[in-house]
Amino acid sequence: MIEFKEVEKRYPNGYEALRHINLTIDQGEFVAIIGLSGAGKSTLIRTINRMHDITRGTLTVDGTDVMSLHGKSLRKFRRKIGMIFQSFNLITRTTVIKNVLTAFVPDLPWWRATFGIFTKEEKMKALEALDQMGILDKAFVRADQLSGGQQQRVALARTLAQNPQVILADEPVASLDPVTAKQVMDDFQRINREMHITVLINIHHVELALQYATRVVGIRAGEIVYDGPADQVDQAVLDAIYQGKQEEPA
């Protein structure tokens, strides 16, 4: 379970990205976070794995105070949380399987990490993850030879290889065409349902959020203005979320 209690985030330049966030997310939920650019969507999900530190309040994951973690304990904690980015974050000049194998690097002795030495078991886990994403046949193809949708599936396979409890996705389909975007959202939905992995997606496409998520959190100016079932989002809710204009933090 992920729990925010009166969480706030203020950047050094004084910009308030999050204000009075109170939010509880149970294991196995599929939650879409929607709102204007600069509303605080990315900041919200990035506080969960400590990519951003909160300024005030309490943020716990499975009872662990995220802000209390440092060094080795923080790295171990992050192993439970996968992160998917809009830009895929792949090493494009190497093979697909080598990209997936990077999921194991944080746990390796320095000499294995330096020379890229992986066990048979690790290689099998990487191949299994690729098979789960339907791209096992691309294992030994260079990542830069894949389509955008295939590259995002590689990123998902890399995340699955680390056996996460939670997957955070920051605009994962923003750079994809509509057909491919729906295919990738199908993948997120399947992972959520079949593996009972919690999925939190920051997404601009409202129609995809409503189609795939079971719960929607709407953010405006750093505050939650809607939190409820996707099928109860109507025009009045959307007006509350999207009224006014927000500026991106500097």
- Per-residue pLDDT, 113: 81
**What is the per-residue pLDDT across 75-116, written as a single tens digit (0 to 9) for each?**
889 989 999 988 888 998 999 999 999 998 888 788 888 888
- Per-residue pLDDT, 248: 43
- Per-residue pLDDT, 237: 92
- Per-residue pLDDT, 112: 86
Domain stop point among 161, 193, 226? 161
Residues 71 and 172 in one domain: yes
Strand order in the sheet with 2-10: 16-25, 2-10, 56-61, 64-65
Domain count of the fold of the chain: 2
Domain stop point among 131, 161, 191? 161
Which residue, chain included where needed, has tokens 């399947």? Answer: 190
182 is in which domain, residue-wise? 1-80+164-250
Write down the pTM of the prediction: 0.90
**What is the per-residue pLDDT across 175-223, written as a single tens digit (0 to 9) for each?**
899 999 999 999 999 999 999 999 999 999 999 999 999 999 999 999 9
Measure Cα distances from 84 to 2, 56, 149 in Å.
18, 26, 13
Q: What is the band of 250 on the pLDDT scale with cuts at 50, 70, 90?
A: very low
Mean pLDDT estimate for the chain: 92
